[in-house]
Amino acid sequence: VYTEALKESPRSAVLLCNRALAHCRMENYGLALEDSDRCVAIDDGFAKGHYRRGMATLGLGRVKEALRDFKVASQLRPGDRDALDKLRHCEAIVRRQAFEAAIRQDEVASPFE
């Protein structure tokens, strides 16, 4: 449905955003990222476009990129609880990854082994 509608309105940020959501629901995160990238390129002030791109990059395991998009979405729509929850979720993952990396580094550098 969205693909057909996009043939008529190829620069519709809303249609691209909605198709990105459909791709995310099917776990087609690469396609969702393509659509959300196009969406944001068309309308950088569209919070849902940043949110969808965050969902796509999070699905691809690119947490720091997702964090940036959720931060922008939260700034564009301060009352958006979903974006704020996703932002906090990504921040927690990044903190955990940094902690785990520090532990691994400490284990490698330990003079007691």
Each of the 113 residues of the chain gets a pLDDT tens digit; together they read 899 999 999 999 999 999 999 999 999 999 999 999 999 999 999 999 999 999 999 999 999 999 999 999 999 999 999 999 999 999 999 999 999 998 888 777 665 55
Give the predicted TM-score (pTM) of the model.
0.88
Q: Give the structural domain span for 46.
A: 2-109
pLDDT for 113 equals 56
Residue 81: which CATH number? 1.25.40.10
User: d(Cα 109, Cα 48) in Å, to the nearest integer?
Assistant: 44
User: d(Cα 73, Cα 69) in Å, to the nearest integer?
Assistant: 6
In the three-class reduction of DSSP (H, G, I as helix; E, B as strand; rest coil), residue 45 is classed as coil
64 phi, psi to nearest 5 deg: -65, -35
Residue type, 49: G
Count of structural domains, the chain: 1
